[in-house]
Amino acid sequence: MADQVRHLIRQSARPGITIQVLRQLRHEGLDGSYVALDFPPPAKPIVHLEHLRSSLFLDEADDVRAFQETTARLAESALDPASTRNYLAHLAHRYESEAERQ
């Protein structure tokens, strides 16, 4: 687990990647996972939904906007990127300490 967490920390330093930890388990308006993809113009943003037996791409502006608004609310509720890296470093250290005790 420590290696996986440290991998996330390394990835968070790459351009275009933002990792934020959301410490609450449930959030209003979030009923499942999704991937919101933004591209440089003239391409439009899209949302990818994946479920047990199917997947779907949304590209209609109203559909995409709902997910963009949810993403913004989640980002506001989450730890900021620097605090997330600190939290993940603490978590990795804890996993390493637990592994050493076993």
Would residue 71 count as lying in a domain? yes
Which residues of the chain, if any, have pLDDT below 70?
Answer: 25-30
DSSP 26-82: --TT--S--EEE--STTSPPEEEEE-SS-EEEE-SHHHHHHHHHHHHHHHHHSPPHH
Q: What's the structural domain count of the chain?
A: 1
Q: Which two tokens stand for residue 28?
A: 């209003």
User: pTM here?
Assistant: 0.73
Nearest to 27 by CA among 88, 77, 87, 90: 77
Would residue 23 count as lying in a domain? no
What whole-number percentage of the chain has pLDDT above 90? 69
Which residue range(s) make up the domain with 52?
Answer: 2-15+31-101
Would residue 20 count as lying in a domain? no
Would residue 72 count as lying in a domain? yes
Would residue 90 count as lying in a domain? yes
Q: Are 50 and 43 in contact (CB under 8 A)?
A: no
Would residue 21 count as lying in a domain? no
Q: How far is 74 from 90, CA to CA, in rounded Å?
A: 22
Would residue 8 count as lying in a domain? yes
